Amino acid sequence: MTKDKAINLIKDMLDITLDLQSFYIEDIKNNIEEIEKNLPSLLTVNKDYFNIFINFMINTKEEKIYSISDSIFANYIIVCLDEINKDYILLGPYILIDDYENILSEHNQYNLTLDEINRLKNYHKDLPVLNKHKISNIVKIILKNIYTKNCKFEVIEKNNLFISINKKNKNHHELISLVEFQSLEKISTTEHKLVFYIREGDKLSASKCLDKLLPQTNISSNDFVSIRDYKNKLIYYNTLLKKSAELECFSTIHLQSIYNTNLKKIESSNDFNELYNLIFNMIIDYCDAVINYKLKNYSPLVKKVINHINLNLNSDLCVKSLADLFYVSPTYLSRVFKKEVNYSIVEYINKQKVKRSTILLKDSNLPIHQISNIVGIDDFNYFSRLFKKHMNKTPSQYRKDNS
């Protein structure tokens, strides 16, 4: 395996397993602008910060592992791979679990307000929390795979690389404001990615995004989140996942069923780990729905008709009214719909009415005659016959079997 491939594999593995960012920096003197774009923002917050960091990196030596911390107690690892060509590996930011108990006392020396401390805590909770032993092993694995020389590495700790700037500018308050902005920006970017991956039915990538938005480290301490807050976040993401799937999935009935089931599970649980595991079941359910009920292969006309049917099941739906609504002839619409969906429009409408009624029979205590009206069938006897034709049992038998 080439060095570049090894580095990319390690980067992906660290990102997926630990949410730990890693950066391979080549030819640093000739790529300053590109490097500045890709580094963690707090290392480039202003020119003074960036210049101190770059100068420090340029002066690092091979066969040494440099551990540094920034002004708000996040840590980084720098390893010089080649002093001549100026190639480096940077890991971070992360929080050292051994030091984390002392962070609040460290805050005091900077005269931070309680609100600023809470904003810092919110920033820290989104960083991976690691111990020195784990970091040491990560670095050893990286060096074993990409460093060609056989040597022992010396660890050099540089606490608060930017302390001279802090004393001069007293800009901790500015940094904390930036942290809050970056945190909101990161959440927004990750949510956009989550929506995209749900629409693609990509379970792995969607799980990775949601784990960043609701990491398990969030629930290791009640200082970070209460059980009610965590449940509220799950309800929000349950809604976002449903809305994302609706953009690609024609079975809004099935999606509503998934949503209702998840909502019940969220509200009935008071266990952090149980709620955390529910996140990934939600991803699987919504991605499977998109894969199984995807609209992408249908023509624009058929997509519109399907969406209209699913959103208006209790209306008077017929081929002529649908054709008039979308300015096509009934004959043309019937032919195109049957060709793409493999059901006639009437068959599809009836199937969706029965599906909607199965959800209402399972999830509500509504009288069966009322469910018949809700799905747009006024004749209760006809509704019962139609239901039995599709489900091989009467509505009352179905409710009894699924209660």
The pLDDT value recorded for residue 51 is 82
Assess if residue 178 is contained within a domain.
no
Assess if residue 180 is contained within a domain.
no
The pLDDT value recorded for residue 215 is 65
The pLDDT value recorded for residue 110 is 59
Assess if residue 146 is contained within a domain.
yes
Same domain, 57 and 148: yes
The per-residue pLDDT for range 286-325, each reduced to its tens digit, is 998 888 777 667 888 888 888 788 778 888 788 999 999 9
Same domain, 119 and 249: no
**The two structure tokens encoding residue 378:** 């006024």
Name the more confident of 218 and 370. Answer: 370
User: Which range in 52-61, 170-179, 386-395 is most confidently predicted, on average pLDDT?
Assistant: 386-395
Name the more confident of 371 and 7. Answer: 371
Q: Residue 31: pLDDT above 80?
A: no
Same domain, 138 and 19: yes
The pLDDT value recorded for residue 272 is 83
Same domain, 276 and 145: no
Per cent of the chain over pLDDT 90 is 17
Same domain, 155 and 263: no
Q: What is the CATH number of the domain that holds 312?
A: 1.10.10.60
366: CB partners within 8 A, 6+ apart: 360, 374
Same domain, 265 and 305: no
Same domain, 202 and 286: yes
The pLDDT value recorded for residue 28 is 79
Dihedral of CA 325/328/331/336: which sign?
negative
Q: Using 50, 70 and 90 to split pLDDT, how confident is the model at 395?
A: very high
Assess if residue 87 is contained within a domain.
yes
Same domain, 199 and 83: no
Q: Residue 40: pLDDT above 90?
A: no
Q: Residue 139: pLDDT above 50?
A: yes
Q: Residue 285: pLDDT above 70?
A: yes
Q: CA–CA separation, 55 vs 69, rounded Å? A: 15
Name the more confident of 382 and 365. Answer: 382
Kindly state the average pLDDT of the residues 195-219.
Answer: 79
Same domain, 288 and 304: no
Q: Using 50, 70 and 90 to split pLDDT, how confident is the model at 329?
A: very high
Residue 78, strand partner residues: 66, 90
Q: Report the number of distinct structural domains present in the chain.
A: 3
Which among 170, 205, 224 is the end of a domain?
Answer: 170
Same domain, 115 and 254: no
Assess if residue 251 is contained within a domain.
yes
The pLDDT value recorded for residue 111 is 63
**Which of 18-32, 131-145, 163-177, 243-257 comes out lowest in average pLDDT?**
163-177
The pLDDT value recorded for residue 169 is 43
Name the more confident of 142 and 109. Answer: 142
Residue 10, Cα to own-chain centre: how many angstroms?
Answer: 21
Same domain, 18 and 152: yes
Assess if residue 175 is contained within a domain.
no
Q: CA–CA separation, 50 vs 162, rounded Å? A: 10
Which among 263, 292, 321 is the end of a domain?
Answer: 292
The pLDDT value recorded for residue 212 is 76
Assess if residue 179 is contained within a domain.
no
pTM of the model: 0.48
The pLDDT value recorded for residue 82 is 84
The pLDDT value recorded for residue 345 is 93
**Structural domain boundaries, residue 353:** 300-401
The per-residue pLDDT for range 42-68, each reduced to its tens digit, is 676 667 778 888 888 888 888 888 888
Same domain, 40 and 74: yes
Residue 66, strand partner residues: 78, 156
Q: CA–CA separation, 389 vs 397, rounded Å? A: 13
Which among 243, 270, 292 is the end of a domain?
Answer: 292
Q: Residue 230: pLDDT above 50?
A: yes
Assess if residue 43 is contained within a domain.
yes
Q: Residue 220: pLDDT above 50?
A: no
Q: CA–CA separation, 254 vs 256, rounded Å? A: 5
Q: Using 50, 70 and 90 to split pLDDT, how confident is the model at 182?
A: low
Kindly state the average pLDDT of the residues 190-210.
Answer: 87
